[in-house]
Amino acid sequence: MTKLGWMKSLAAGAALTVAGTMVQADSFPERPIDMIVGFKAGGGTDTYARALASAAEAHTGGQPVVVVNKPGGGGLVGGRFVADQPPTGYTLYLASAGSIVLKNLIKPQVVSTDDFKMVGTIGELTAGIFVPAGSPIQSLDELLEAGKSSDTALRWGHTGRGNVWHMAGLGVLNPNDVKAKDVPFKGGSGVRAALASSEVDFGVMGAHLGLGFEDEVRLLAVLSNDTHPAAPDAPTAKSLGIDFIPVSSQMIVMAPARTPDEVVAQLSEAIVAITQDSAYLDTLNTAGLPTASVNGADTAANIDTSKVEWGKLLEGLE
Amino acid sequence: MELLNGFYTIFTTPETLMFVVLGSILGVIVGAVPGLTASAAIAMLVPITYYIDPLSALAFLYVIGKAGRFGGSISAILFNTPGTTAAAATVIDGHALTKKGQAGKALKTATTASVIGDYVGEFMLIFGALTIAQLTRELGPPDYFAIYVCAFLIIGSVISDSVLKGIASTLFGATLAMIGLDPITSEPRYSFGMVELYNGFSLVPLLIGMFVISEVFAQVQAARSGQAHHDEIAARKPEDDQLSWAEIKRCLPFIGRGSFIGALVGLIPGVGSAVACFVAYGSSKAKAKNKDEWGKGAIEGVAAPEAANNAVSGPSMIPLLALGVPGSTIAAMLMGVFLIHGIQVGPKIFETSGDIVYGLFAAGLIGIALYGLIGWFLGPVIGRVIDKVPQRLIYPTILAVALISAYTARSSMFDVLVACIFGLIGYFMRTLNFSPAAAIIAFVLAPGAEQALRQSVLLTDDGFGIFLHRPVALIFFAIPVIAIGIRIIGRMRARKAAPAELQT
Phi-psi region of B297 (alpha: psi -120 to 50; beta: other; left: phi over 0): left
Query: Do A216 and B347 count as a contact with CB atoms less than 8 A apart?
Result: yes
- The model's pTM is 0.80
What was the pLDDT predicted at B306? 95
Contacts of A69 in chain B (CB under 8 A): 47
Q: Give the separation between CA B444 and CA A131, rounded to whole angstroms.
A: 32
- Please give the residue of chain B at the shortest CA–CA distance from A181: B458
Query: Do B50 and A50 count as a contact with CB atoms less than 8 A apart?
Result: yes
- Please give the residue of chain B at the shortest CA–CA distance from A163: B186
Q: How far is CA A305 from CA A94, A99, B141, in A?
A: 20, 15, 38
What was the pLDDT predicted at B304? 94
For residue A241, the distance in angstroms to the closest alpha carbon of chain B comes to: 31
* Of residues B323, B336, B342, nearest to A43 (C-beta): B336
* Of residues A3, A193, A194, nearest to B408 (C-beta): A3
Q: Which of B196, B455, B467, B470 to mutate to test the interface with A (most CBs of A within 10 A)?
A: B455
Domain count, chain B: 1
A26 touches chain B (CB under 8 A): no
Question: In this structure, which CATH number among 3.40.190.10, 3.60.20.10, 3.40.640.10, 3.40.50.300 belongs to the domain A127-222?
Answer: 3.40.190.10
What was the pLDDT predicted at B311? 95
A108 touches chain B (CB under 8 A): no
Contacts of B324 in chain A (CB under 8 A): 189, 192-193, 212-213
Residue numbers of A between 161 and 190 with CB closer than 8 Å to B: 161-163, 181-186, 189-190
* Of residues A6, A41, A161, nearest to B43 (C-beta): A41
B349 touches chain A (CB under 8 A): yes
B48 touches chain A (CB under 8 A): yes
- Please give the residue of chain B at the shortest CA–CA distance from A201: B459
Under-50 pLDDT residues of chain A? 1-3, 10, 12-25, 318
Q: Give the separation between CA A315 and CA A217, rounded to whole angstroms.
A: 31
Residue numbers of B between 234 and 293 with CB closer than 8 Å to A: none
For residue A314, the distance in angstroms to the closest alpha carbon of chain B comes to: 14
What was the pLDDT predicted at B230? 52
Query: Do A70 and B195 count as a contact with CB atoms less than 8 A apart?
Result: no
- Please give the residue of chain B at the shortest CA–CA distance from A197: B138
* Of residues A76, A190, A197, nearest to B198 (C-beta): A76
CA dihedral B214, B218, B219, B225 (to 10 degrees): 160
By mean pLDDT, which of A59-68, B101-110, B125-134 is the weakest? B125-134
Domain that holds residue B350: 2-233+241-503
For residue A53, the distance in angstroms to the closest alpha carbon of chain B comes to: 11
Higher-pLDDT residue of B339 and A190 is A190
Report the 3 state secondary structure along chain A: CHHHHHHHHHHHHHHHHHHHHHCCHHHCCCCCEEEEECCCCCCHHHHHHHHHHHHHHHHCCCCCEEEEECCCHHHHHHHHHHHCCCCCCCEEEEEEHHHHHHHHHHCCCCCCHHHEEEEEEEEEECEEEEEECCCCCCCHHHHHHHHHHCCCCEEEEECCCCCHHHHHHHHHHCCCCCCEEEEECCHHHHHHHHHHCCCCCEEEEEHHHHCCCCCCEEEEEECCCCCECCECCCCECCCCCCCCCCCCEEEEEEEECCCCHHHHHHHHHHHHHHCCCHHHHHHHHHHCCCEEEEEHHHHHHHHHHHHHHHHHHHHHCC
Under CATH, which architecture does the A2-123+249-316 domain have?
3-Layer(aba) Sandwich (3.40)
pLDDT in tens, B209-258: 988 898 888 888 887 776 555 554 455 666 777 788 888 999 999 999 99
**Which part of chain A is CATH 3.40.190.10?**
127-222
pLDDT in tens, B396-455: 888 888 888 888 777 788 999 999 999 999 999 989 988 888 888 888 888 888 988 999
A124 touches chain B (CB under 8 A): no
Contact predicate A161/A182, CB 8 Å? yes
Q: Give the separation between CA B307 and CA B330, rounded to whole angstroms.
A: 19
- Please give the residue of chain B at the shortest CA–CA distance from A199: B140
Q: Which amino acid is at A264?
A: V
* Of residues A70, A181, A193, nearest to B411 (C-beta): A70
User: For B40, how many CA atoms within 13 A lie in the half-sphere containing its CB?
Assistant: 29
Is a pLDDT exceeding 50 seen at residue B187?
A: yes
Q: Percent of chain B scored above 70 by pLDDT?
A: 95
A77 touches chain B (CB under 8 A): yes
Query: Which three-class secondary structure state does DSSP give residue B411?
Result: coil
Query: Which three-class secondary structure state does DSSP give residue B341?
Result: coil
What was the pLDDT predicted at A18? 43
Contact predicate B349/A212, CB 8 Å? yes
Query: Do B336 and A47 count as a contact with CB atoms less than 8 A apart?
Result: yes
What was the pLDDT predicted at A8? 52
Residue numbers of B between 91 and 150 with CB closer than 8 Å to A: 137-141
For residue B215, the distance in angstroms to the closest alpha carbon of chain A comes to: 27
Query: Do B339 and A42 count as a contact with CB atoms less than 8 A apart?
Result: yes
For residue B9, the distance in angstroms to the closest alpha carbon of chain A comes to: 23
For residue B130, the distance in angstroms to the closest alpha carbon of chain A comes to: 14
Is a pLDDT exceeding 70 seen at residue B115?
A: yes
What was the pLDDT predicted at A21? 42
Query: Do B410 and A70 count as a contact with CB atoms less than 8 A apart?
Result: yes
Q: Which of B344, B454, B466, B469 to mutate to test the interface with A (most CBs of A within 10 A)?
A: B344
Q: Which of A40, A107, A115 to mutate to test the interface with B (most CBs of B within 10 A)?
A: A40
By mean pLDDT, which of A84-93, B4-13, B152-161, B333-342 is the weakest? B152-161
**Which part of chain A is CATH 3.40.190.150?**
2-123+249-316
What was the pLDDT predicted at A16? 45
Query: Do B459 and A155 count as a contact with CB atoms less than 8 A apart?
Result: yes
pLDDT in tens, B12-63: 999 999 999 999 999 998 888 877 778 878 877 877 777 789 899 999 999 9
Query: Do A67 and B47 count as a contact with CB atoms less than 8 A apart?
Result: yes
B461 touches chain A (CB under 8 A): yes
User: For B180, how many CA atoms within 13 A lie in the half-sphere containing its CB?
Assistant: 20
What was the pLDDT predicted at A9? 52
- Please give the residue of chain B at the shortest CA–CA distance from A45: B336
* Of residues B138, B345, B455, nearest to A197 (C-beta): B138
Query: Do A194 and B410 count as a contact with CB atoms less than 8 A apart?
Result: no
Query: Do B198 and A216 count as a contact with CB atoms less than 8 A apart?
Result: no
By mean pLDDT, which of B227-236, B279-288, B312-321 is the weakest? B227-236
A72 touches chain B (CB under 8 A): yes
Contacts of B337 in chain A (CB under 8 A): 42
Q: Give the separation between CA B388 and CA B398, rounded to whole angstroms.
A: 16
Q: What count of CB pairs under 8 Å joins A to B?
A: 137
A37 touches chain B (CB under 8 A): no
Higher-pLDDT residue of B501 and B334 is B334
What was the pLDDT predicted at A20? 40
Contacts of B403 in chain A (CB under 8 A): none
* Of residues A1, A80, A197, nearest to B47 (C-beta): A1
What was the pLDDT predicted at B401? 84
Q: Which of A39, A189, A213, A314 to mutate to test the interface with B (most CBs of B within 10 A)?
A: A189
Is a pLDDT exceeding 90 seen at residue B305?
A: yes
Most confidently predicted of A157-171, B75-89, B109-123, B147-161? B109-123
- Please give the residue of chain B at the shortest CA–CA distance from A288: B342
Per-chain mean pLDDT for chain B: 85
Q: Give the separation between CA B107 and CA B242, rounded to whole angstroms.
A: 9
